[in-house]
Amino acid sequence: MNEELLNALADLCEEKGLEKDVILDALEAALVAAYKRNFNSAQNVEVQIDRETGGVHVYMQKTVVDEEDYVDPQEEIPIAEAKNISGVYEVGDIVNIEVTPRNFGRIAAMTAKQVVTQRIREAERGIIYSEFTEKANDIISGRISRIERGNVFVDIGKLEAMLPVNEQPSNERYEVGQMIKCYVSEVRNGTKGTQIMLSRTHPGLVKRLFYREIPEIADGIVEIKGIAREAGSRTKIAVWSEDPNVDPQGACIGPKGVRVQAIGDELKDEKIDIVKWSENPAEFISASLSPSKVLSVEINEEEKSARVTVPEYQLSLAIGKSGQNVRLAVRLTGWKIDISAE
């Protein structure tokens, strides 16, 4: 190395946001390994890089011992010999004896390239990880690049994210080249770099779509109180507004239903029931069984259960296909619900 190379390294560190001293420390450690690999693996050595000139020096390190204790010439130096180097040395001190090989500069340059490349790669991985950590629990868009064993891989720019089979709604089909929106369920930082796990079944996907499509939700005027979802089939979402002049359901539905329709289209025609939340359990439970009409709700606070009566002709609607409607209502409200006909 030389001063010119050292300056180039400083410029590169500034560009990539790396600490120059951290790189040089790593390089010194790598050069110790390179020296032992190429010259003498038995020696206890230290490599020092001059921070001003870029000069590389290899030192054999020996412990100063009394003459009678002198046994290992690789690790030890007698006190008399140490005194010849410098009169300040005492028993127990470490003496650095320079053993820099003549052709070590070539090895240093090759090692420097490897270390800098590795550190830059690690730094870029860290930047990517930080960038995508901020996108966790949000929606990300990308193009499907490949499909392997049912797992869908999505190109999201700087890397590929994976939509596993178990995070795909049963009613959806995917093709290479298709644009897709997914919920970022997990960001991992592993040995292979940053890994992004996606989901199309997570309730968070519905929540983030509502934040994007409904200005009143994005502005905090309307609040999402809960979501219960069976991906690909039906979702119930409870909304509420502190402003008495705002209809939270109407805000979510939009003029002629265009807002909720846009969300339904993104979810491949998944049915969405928008329910008005209430702190009154009877009112909330009644609303949660939409689209069924409810005649009465009897609340048992101790058991947190409710007995609901509906018109006989709407019993099957209230229960839903395979019990789906009441099942989602239970998950949305947190109450056990028994339904009977009038």
Domains of the chain: 3-126 (3.30.1480.10), 144-199 (2.40.50.140), 202-277 (3.30.300.20), 282-342 (3.30.300.20)
pLDDT exceeds 60 at position 1: no
Under 8 Å between Cβ of 200 and 146: no
How many angstroms separate the CA atoms of 200 and 166, rounded? 9
pLDDT, one tens digit per residue, over 59-75 is: 988 999 998 888 888 88
- Cα dihedral 249, 252, 256, 257 sign: negative
Closest CA to 170 of 229, 237, 230: 230
pLDDT exceeds 60 at position 277: yes
* Average model confidence (pLDDT) across the chain: 90
- Count other C-beta atoms under 10 Å from residue 28's C-beta: 16
Under 8 Å between Cβ of 336 and 306: yes
Q: In what order do the strands lie in the sheet with 336-341?
A: 296-300, 305-310, 336-341
Q: What is the pLDDT of residue 123?
A: 74
Per-residue pLDDT averaged across 105-132, rounded?
Answer: 78
Q: What is the pLDDT of residue 227?
A: 97
**Percentage of residues in the chain with pLDDT exceeding 90?**
58
Closest CA to 32 of 5, 61, 2, 8: 61
- Cα dihedral 167, 170, 174, 178 sign: negative
Axis crossing angle, helix 203-213 with helix 258-266, rounded to the nearest 10: 140
Whether pTM > 0.85 for this model: the answer is: no
Q: How many CA atoms lie within 13 A of 54 on its CB side?
A: 15
Per-residue pLDDT averaged across 284-292, rounded?
Answer: 95
How many angstroms separate the CA atoms of 253 and 232, rounded? 19
Q: What is the pLDDT of residue 149?
A: 94
- The residue length of the chain stands at 342
Please report which confidence band the pLDDT of residue 25 belongs to, taking 50, 70 and 90 as the band edges.
confident
pLDDT exceeds 80 at position 235: yes
Identify the weakest region by mean pLDDT among 2-11, 68-77, 263-272, 282-291: 2-11
pLDDT, one tens digit per residue, over 153-181 is: 999 988 899 999 999 999 899 999 999 99
pLDDT exceeds 80 at position 136: yes
Instruction: Fill in the amino acid letter for 286.
Output: S
Per-residue pLDDT averaged across 74-95, rounded?
Answer: 89
Where do we find the tokens 């779509």? 209
